[in-house]
């Protein structure tokens, strides 16, 4: 390991140690990448990546090496003790629930709605054999192949291991909306509340069983509910009112969180969800909010919750493609002193297609500059 990496890694380790205690002197800054940015870099189509396990392994390893040697963020750099790979399948839940998944050549795969009458849809879902469904899905086939291919694999002199591909869900309401059709499910909330409740309840139980089955099949060694923290995503709830959330989705979220964890609770919401944060905190005890961005009034969010929370703020999805002035302005706005003083905050930059690589370093510099805690700032409301 070169000396610059050693210095960086020591600083990062100290930052995360202090962040865990709520005594950090600056906000941690992270970058997140997915296929949109990475596949063009390696001249690979979405279709090939999604369908070919050796390609997934190669690109995941090459990507990790590039990030760990060329991209500054608050993560360790240099060669790791071991590399971890896992199959990528954003639509695995949709496939498990019976939807047709369309694999595109140059864009994300997408699940199609199940065009069934309400009674037929419920019947089909409620008759699903969860164990068999997991074994027959493409994600499981790819996982088994990946485990076999990485058994004795090394990359840059380090072992390669396959990690558990399923630990959570992309959302109870989100997945129900994708298999029913978002517009139709939103109409159901008004026109047929009993059906909407039954659909959401059914999807909740299926996704809960899906997660548990994956842990059992992979012998992950985690019993539920676990004392470890746990969270889910459910971006589509941003489209519904607090009243509809409380009536239809909250019971499902209460069920799945209670079944999964007795520890800290997190949620990913990166849309226009200002109207739901306080309700989610009050009714679910969620204290870690991942994804709020410039569309959210963070000071108002903190004021409405009125309790210690962690906000993992994220710049808008196109920001890192834009000018340095735009990047700096948005980072400065997200890392305001009144937010840092009242909540535990970290900064995340999503890297979309065609982002100039030099913007990544500039974003990190801005995060370090504006993420400094103000002198004398009290950590009393930080987790």
* pLDDT tens-place string over residues 280-319: 999 999 999 999 999 999 999 999 999 999 999 999 999 9
The CA–CA distances, whole Å, from 208 to 150, 167, 190, 252, 308 equal: 29, 10, 26, 10, 28
pLDDT band of residue 381 (cuts 50, 70, 90) is very low
User: What does the alpha-carbon distance between residue 276 and residue 246 come to, in Å, rounded to a whole number?
Assistant: 9
- Work out how many domains the chain is built from and give that number: 1
Give 119-166 pLDDT, tens digit per residue. 999 999 999 999 999 999 999 999 999 999 999 999 999 999 999 999
Does 1 score more than 60 pLDDT?
Answer: no
57 lies in a domain? no
Does 267 score more than 90 pLDDT?
Answer: yes
- Residue numbers of the domain that contains 283: 13-33+270-383
What is the pLDDT, as a whole number, of residue 377? Answer: 59
287 lies in a domain? yes
178 lies in a domain? no
Task: Enumerate the H helices of 221-267 as residue ranges.
Answer: 242-244, 250-260
What is the pLDDT, as a whole number, of residue 379? Answer: 46
326 lies in a domain? yes
Residue 322: CB partners within 8 Å, gap ≥ 6? none
337 lies in a domain? yes
84 lies in a domain? no
Residue 226: CB partners within 8 Å, gap ≥ 6? 260, 261, 262, 263
Does 382 score more than 90 pLDDT?
Answer: no
166 lies in a domain? no
312 lies in a domain? yes
What is the pLDDT, as a whole number, of residue 375? Answer: 72
User: What does the alpha-carbon distance between residue 3 and residue 229 come to, in Å, rounded to a whole number?
Assistant: 35
Give 2-61 pLDDT, tens digit per residue. 467 999 999 999 999 999 999 999 999 999 999 999 999 999 999 999 999 999 999 999
pLDDT band of residue 374 (cuts 50, 70, 90) is confident
Average pLDDT of the residues of the chain:
95
SS3 at position 128: coil
- Which whole number is the average pLDDT over 197-210? 98
Residue 310 phi, psi dihedral angles, 5° rounding: -115, 130
SS3 at position 266: strand
Share of the chain above pLDDT 70, in %: 97
pLDDT band of residue 255 (cuts 50, 70, 90) is very high
Residue 75: CB partners within 8 Å, gap ≥ 6? 12, 30, 67, 68
Does 371 score more than 50 pLDDT?
Answer: yes
């Amino acid at each position: 390991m070169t000396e610059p990496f050693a210095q960086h890694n020591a600083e990062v380790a100290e930052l995360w140690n202090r962040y865990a205690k709520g005594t950090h002197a600056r906000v941690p800054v992270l970058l997140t990448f997915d296929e949109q940015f990475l596949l063009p870099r390696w001249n690979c189509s979405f279709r090939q990546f999604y369908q070919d396990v050796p390609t997934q392994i190669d690109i995941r390893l090459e990507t990790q090496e590039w990030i760990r040697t060329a991209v500054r963020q608050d993560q360790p750099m240099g060669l790791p003790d071991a590399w971890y790979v896992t199959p990528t399948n954003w639509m695995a839940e949709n496939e498990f629930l019976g939807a047709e998944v369309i694999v595109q050549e140059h864009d994300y795969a997408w699940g199609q709605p199940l065009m069934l009458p309400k009674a037929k849809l419920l019947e089909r879902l409620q008759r699903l054999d969860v164990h068999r469904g997991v074994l027959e899905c493409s994600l499981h086939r790819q996982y088994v192949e990946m485990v076999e291919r990485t058994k004795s694999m090394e990359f840059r002199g380090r072992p390669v291991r396959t990690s558990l591909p399923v630990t959570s869900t992309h959302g109870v309401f989100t997945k129900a909306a994708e298999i029913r059709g978002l517009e139709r499910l939103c109409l159901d909330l008004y026109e047929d509340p009993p059906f909407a409740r039954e659909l959401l309840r059914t999807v909740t139980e299926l996704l809960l069983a899906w997660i548990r089955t994956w842990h059992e099949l992979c012998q992950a060694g985690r019993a539920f509910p676990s004392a470890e923290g746990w969270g889910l995503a459910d971006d589509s709830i941003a489209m519904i009112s607090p009243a509809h959330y409380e009536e239809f989705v909250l019971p499902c979220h209460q069920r799945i969180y209670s079944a999964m964890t007795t520890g800290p609770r997190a949620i990913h919401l990166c849309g226009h969800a200002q109207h739901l944060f306080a309700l989610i905190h009050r009714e679910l005890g969620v204290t870690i909010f991942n994804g709020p961005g410039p569309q959210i009034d963070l000071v108002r969010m903190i004021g409405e919750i009125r309790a210690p929370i962690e906000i993992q703020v994220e710049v808008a999805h196109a920001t890192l493609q834009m000018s340095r002035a735009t990047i700096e302005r948005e980072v400065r706005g997200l890392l305001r002193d009144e937010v840092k003083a009242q909540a535990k905050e970290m900064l995340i930059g999503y890297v979309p297609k065609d982002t100039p690589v030099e913007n990544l370093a500039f974003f990190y510099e801005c995060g370090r500059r504006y993420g400094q805690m103000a002198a004398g700032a009290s950590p009393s409301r930080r987790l």
